[in-house]
Amino acid sequence: MAGVVNTAPILRRSVWSAQAPFRCYQRRWAQVHDVRFVATHQRSDRVLEKYKEKLERKAREEGKQSVDELKAAYKDKISGLREQAIVPGAHAPLSAQPPPTPAQTTSSIPYQAPPPPTPLEERKQSTPQTPKSKSPVKTLDSFID
């Protein structure tokens, strides 16, 4: 028995030492980026770079010295177009819109609401009273209203 060597601990250590560097040095390179902002918001200077020649040509046609003067001339039109393009909930808070008036809500509802239920006292008075029979067997009329 003294000559038998238990090799299990040695094998475990050798397997661990072979895998240890890979486990310790493994990194995750994946990162989460919020693409909602990137996709929906463009920098204004990018737009100016892209259409620089067209804007300068338009400014010359209008008799302006620079693109800034052209912007100042069309300031009202630009702000009006921006206000029209606002989508409630996406670009502006939903509370920015005034609440609908009752006249608007009745025309926009595709169906009519059911009438309110009548109180129990009125129902009892409107239903005809069935005569009580003394027989132990109940008739079908006693179950149906």
User: How would you write the chain as a 3-class SS string?
Assistant: CCCCCCCHHHHHHHHHHHHHHHHHHCCCCCCCCCHHHHHHCCCHHHHHHHCHHHHHHHHHHHCCCCHHHHHHHCHHHHHHHHHHHCCECCCECHHHCCCCCHHHHHHHCCCCCCCCCCCHHHHHHHCCCCCCCCCCCCCHHHHCC
Number of domains, the chain: 1
> What is the reported pLDDT for 50?
87
In a domain, 103, yes or no: no
| Band of residue 80 on the pLDDT scale cut at 50, 70, 90 | very high
Q: What pLDDT is recorded for position 79? A: 92
pLDDT at 61 over 90: yes
Considering the domain boundaries, does residue 70 fall inside one? Answer: yes
Flag whether 57 is in a domain. yes
Domain assignment of residue 21, yes or no: no
Per-residue pLDDT reduced to its tens digit, 117-135? 877 776 666 655 655 667 7
User: Is residue 119 assigned to a domain?
Assistant: no
78 against 13, higher pLDDT: 78
- Could you tell me if residue 78 is inside a domain? yes
Res 45: pLDDT? 76
Boundaries of domain holding 49 = 40-86
Confirm whether 105 is domain-assigned.
no
- The structure's pTM equals 0.33
> Is 76 inside any structural domain?
yes
